[in-house]
Structure 1
């Protein structure tokens, strides 16, 4: 039995059409049919009732659908696990990054690209973390470099002599809402006691969530919000905003595409806006020469 036979069969079970399933698998219908027949011959059972349209699984086919899915999951998991046994590079040459969840999707990919272009190829292993988790990894030696947000009123309490940092940029955090047909926010701060705005929030302990609470407390006008959703992931919060579920805060870089496409609009004035530094931290000295080399490269004006 071949892996591709299982993939073919699950595609057919989903689409209930030989022609559409063949197109999905990028092979001719005749070749696709032969592979389904080969699977049936190997199992010595009929999986598909070909006497009806659209195609329908037999009782054995329905039973095998779950088995096939489990077999594929196990096969893919084994491939991933065994592939992980092959070293990315010599341990001393792999840089372990801990990156704040939001930055994994925004700044980090382009920053790492510039690093590769200027410094040279760099084997990297990346862990998406919340900021406190990333700080713990840095202190315990589980990562070489920590990329995280920083706010002066919510500082990362690390000894700068032992854990120096580089400032990589500054970005704003703003309230957003889905945009209407005219590009205006469907929900706009501050709301009212009679009609509080549905509030899409961060889970307790999330760094950006703490920044949002600080912005709300320091705003000259109280916001009237009804907490209706929470998550620790900015990407999940963004998806809820785009779907029109309410108002929530996100770093500006996180929604650049959605703003350009007119899906989101800023949902409040400057009193609801804050700034975040993007910092890169390390342990000094580092046991890895490559980390020292990267750090020195970052000192260059063009880096």
Structure 2
């Protein structure tokens, strides 16, 4: 007995007419009639009263119709579920990251773990604030979030109780500025109370700005800054700093090439550097079928 025979019988029960049912099922009437006859032979009873117009189902046929509807519905739902499982298994894992991490950390990390074919960067996330990443994880907009994180105590307005993380790297924020004509920093820390240094800062609600401010508060030497611009993306801060508008803190990976070329110089000694950790977060109650396997792989592989 084939599923399509059951579908034929359901169509016949709805149309009460062999010709219309055959047309609906896209078969000839002789073929359709033969299938119904095979069903009756399989069940050992007459299912259709052919003496009435329109035709009717026998009591056995009415009972068989309920069975056909139950079976075909179960098959339909199972097919849909199997299709979803197949789609999920082939769907790439989506990772969100800020612009600087996306450009300077993620490519090397993907290469290291050979994940280029399994993990897909989420380009819409490059200008998000920290809380945005956790909200996106919570609503399954992304599967992983690559985040900078303070290595020292900083008050962050983010609830991470429903998430877990792996530390995958470290980074340092270094204060930089354009050089003057003699190659010295145009804006050297710490500045003066009466002449604060122009600063190109990060978004005031962003993690990096909070980490920088917390670090400066811990130093015994005061720092005098005047914020000229606030920006989310590191690339924009770097461009304004290179153009000489002020100093700014950049991830060392982002600043290194410009430092090597002399396009930028350090605006202060190492005590002004701000240490960061790079963490990979996921939601504990995630829905991606391939994420647990990847997470286990990352836990077993040294960073």
Task: Quickly name the TM-score band, shorter chain normalised.
Answer: 0.5 to 0.7
The SS at the match of 1:198 is strand
Distance apart, 1:209 and its partner CA: 1.1
Matches within 5 A, 1:48-197: 90-92=87-89, 93-115=91-113, 117=114, 119=115, 121-126=117-122, 127-128=125-126, 129-151=128-150, 152-154=152-154, 157-159=159-161, 162-197=162-197
CA contact (8 A) 1:178 1:264 kept: yes
Paired residues for 1:1-303 under 5 Å: 90-92=87-89, 93-115=91-113, 117=114, 119=115, 121-126=117-122, 127-128=125-126, 129-151=128-150, 152-154=152-154, 157-159=159-161, 162-302=162-302
Secondary structure, aligned partner of 1:289: coil
Q: Looking at CA atoms only, which structure, 1 or 2, has the larger radius of gyration?
A: 2
Unpaired runs of at least 5, structure 2: 1-85
Describe the superposition over 1:46-76 as per-residue Cα deviations: whole angstroms up to 9, x where unpaired: xxxxxxxxxxxxxxxxxxxxxxxxxxxxxxx
Distance change >3 Å, CA 110–CA 182, structure 1 → 2: farther
Deviation at 1:120, TM superposition (A): 6.4
In structure 2, how many angstroms separate the alpha carbons of the residues matched to 1:286 and 1:139? 8
In the alignment, the residues of structure 2 paired with residue 272 and residue 191 of structure 1 have an alpha-carbon distance, to the nearest angstrom, of 12
When the two chains are superposed, the root-mean-square deviation of aligned CA atoms in Å is 2.1
Q: Summarize deviations over 1:131-169 as a string: whole Å, max 9, x none.
A: 11101111232221011011142355412xx42211111
Counterpart Cα distance in 1 of 2:268 and 2:160: 34
TM-score of the pair, normalised by structure 1: 0.64
Question: In structure 2, what is the Cα distance between the partners aligned to 1:227 and 1:210?
Answer: 14
Aligned length: 211
Cα 1:286–1:135, aligned 2, differ >3 Å: closer, same or farther?
A: closer
What is the alpha-carbon distance in structure 1 between the residues aligned to residue 112 and residue 136 of structure 2?
25
Change (3 A) 1:259 1:292: same
Segment drifting more, 176-185 vs 290-299: 176-185
Stretches of structure 1 lacking an aligned partner (at least 5 in a row): 1-88
1:301 deviates by 3.2
Q: Give the TM-score normalised by the residue count of structure 2.
A: 0.64
For the residue of structure 1 that corresponds to 2:171, the secondary structure is strand
Distance in 1, Cα, partners of 2:231 & 2:200:
8
Pick closer, same or farther for the CA change 1:225–1:285 going to 2, 3 Å. closer
Quote how far apart the aligned CAs of 1:230 are.
Answer: 1.7
Say whether the 8 Å CA contact 2:110–2:116 is kept in structure 1.
no
Contact 2:88-2:289 within 8 A present in 1 as well: no
Select between 280-289 and 188-197 the one with higher mean Cα deviation.
280-289
Does the CA contact (< 8 Å) of 1:286 and 1:292 recur in 2?
no
1:299 Cα deviation after fit: 2.1
